[in-house]
Amino acid sequence: MAIADTSDTRLAFIPEVTWGATPATPAFQKVRYTGENFAHAKATVVSNEIRSDAEVADLVQVGVSGEGGYDFELSQGAEFDTLFEHALRGTFAQIDSGLFTGDVGSTSTFTRATGDFLADGFRAGQAIITTGYTDVANNGSFTVLSVAALTLTIVETTLVVESGGGNEQITVAGTTLLKGGIEKKSLSWEKFLEGGGTDSYQRFTGGRVNNFNLDFSTNEIVTGRFDVVGKEGEALDTAIIAGATYVEPNTNDIFNAVQGAVLTVGGVTGQVFLTNLTMALTNNAAPRNAIGNLPAIDVRYGRREITGNITAYFDASAGGKELYDAFVAHTAGALRWSVNDGTNSYTFHLPKVKYATGLTNIGGNNEDVLVEATYQALVDTAFGSSIYIIA
């Protein structure tokens, strides 16, 4: 008897070139995970045939798809970068202005007549590199102090005023940005079960990331989940795909919600002390079924929706009160939080949110009063997205 053990399993994926088809000689990317529920899902209908013996005549299979996902503890690595891209339907790219006519308006400001520094992804605190200016003092490395659509203000005051010639360029050093898009991406997944002499491989094709969740809680590891909707789950195999290789997952430290975690709540000037922050993104994906085809013929995307919860300590003269006031006034603000392990980091930014519910929770004796709010992320028209991630 060779009963499979959970500690001898493996979960891996590879991006597809053609929806629903695992690439030949695939280089599967392994993932770090804490649980999964990938499954071959069948749609069935019970026969309504009337029988003289009062029995059910048949259970008819009318469609199949692949569905499920996996739970994780967050760390930085190539596998997370890829899955973030599939969840947000975009691609990580260097934050770069591209070539533009960049004037130097003062000893500390770069300006432009067209374009948008905010939409390009520039934000306060970034280290930037400038090139293409006539005066050498304007080419080099600087730190961003503040950003407006047409003005980039730096910490340094060493610039020389000049008019741009059209060959100027500003790039964020060593930082890539991913924002919500409308790219169509899919993955093939493979689940490996160690069986002693006979191993089992179960594969799922055409997987589009539907849900992406994150949970930041006091004194806890940052956790999350990806959920997928796909074409179908294939029959169990006993061998790897011919020529397949497997890339090990990252070995970086797991992020926690305390060490290196930074939170900014837009519109709140006082410090907010949180006990919990969650984010739930859904692409409202669903399989497309057609007559004459048992598996789905495609998986469509719907509207991207991002919601979440915030729980904070109530402080009558600081951030906790302001958070509740923002709910009552129904004002829009931003949510931005970062995690790092001393070397690696992710920053999650929702540039515009409004609070749908809010309350001050008096739980009982010997407890703190908390502010509990739920939020909805909205599109920031200046940026063109409701979310971006910086790595």
User: Rounded to whole angstroms, what are the CA distances from 220 to 61, 85, 232, 253?
Assistant: 44, 25, 35, 14
pLDDT of residue 122: 87
pLDDT of residue 260: 62
| DSSP 3-state of 126 | coil
- Residue 6's CB is within 10 A of a number of other CB atoms, namely 9
pLDDT of residue 70: 97
Residue closest to 138 by CA, chosen among 102, 88, 97 = 102
What is d(CA 133, CA 163) in angstroms, rounded to the nearest whole number?
9
Q: What is the pLDDT along the chain (391 residues), one digit of tens a residue?
A: 566 676 678 999 999 999 999 999 999 999 999 999 999 999 999 999 999 999 999 999 999 999 999 999 999 999 999 999 999 999 999 888 889 999 999 999 999 999 888 888 888 878 899 999 999 999 999 999 999 989 999 999 999 999 999 999 999 887 888 999 999 999 999 998 876 667 888 999 999 999 999 999 988 999 999 999 999 988 888 889 999 999 999 999 999 987 766 677 766 767 778 889 999 999 999 999 999 999 999 999 999 999 999 988 888 767 778 887 888 888 888 888 888 888 888 989 898 999 998 888 788 888 888 888 899 999 988 778 999 898 8
DSSP codes of every residue in 58-121: -EEEEEEEEEEEEEEE---SHHHHHHHHHHHTS--EEEE--SB--EEEETTEEE-SSS-HHHHT
pLDDT of residue 89: 97
Q: Give the residue range(s) of CATH 2.40.30 domains in the chain.
A: 93-175
Indicate the Cα dihedral angle 130, 131, 133, 136, nearest 10°: 80
- Residue 348's CB is within 10 A of a number of other CB atoms, namely 18
Which stretch of DSSP H or E encloses residue 325? Answer: helix 319-329
Level-2 CATH architecture, domain 93-175: Beta Barrel (2.40)
What is d(CA 388, CA 307) in angstroms, rounded to the nearest whole number?
14
The shares of helix, strand and coil residues in the chain, as percent rounded to the nearest 5, are 10, 50, 45
Is residue 158 within 8 Å of residue 141, measured between CB atoms?
no
Is residue 252 within 8 Å of residue 75, measured between CB atoms?
yes
In this prediction the pTM is: 0.86
CB within 8 A of 212, min separation 6: which ones?
Answer: 83, 84, 87, 88, 224, 225, 226, 227, 280, 281
CB within 8 A of 126, min separation 6: which ones?
Answer: 95, 143, 144, 172, 173, 175
pLDDT of residue 267: 66
β pairing state of 245-247 and 27-30: parallel
DSSP codes of every residue in 228-247: EEESEEPPPBSSPPTT-EEE
Task: Give the long-range contacts of residues 140-145, CB within 8 A, separation 24 or more.
Answer: 141/173, 145/108
pLDDT of residue 44: 95
| DSSP 3-state of 30 | strand
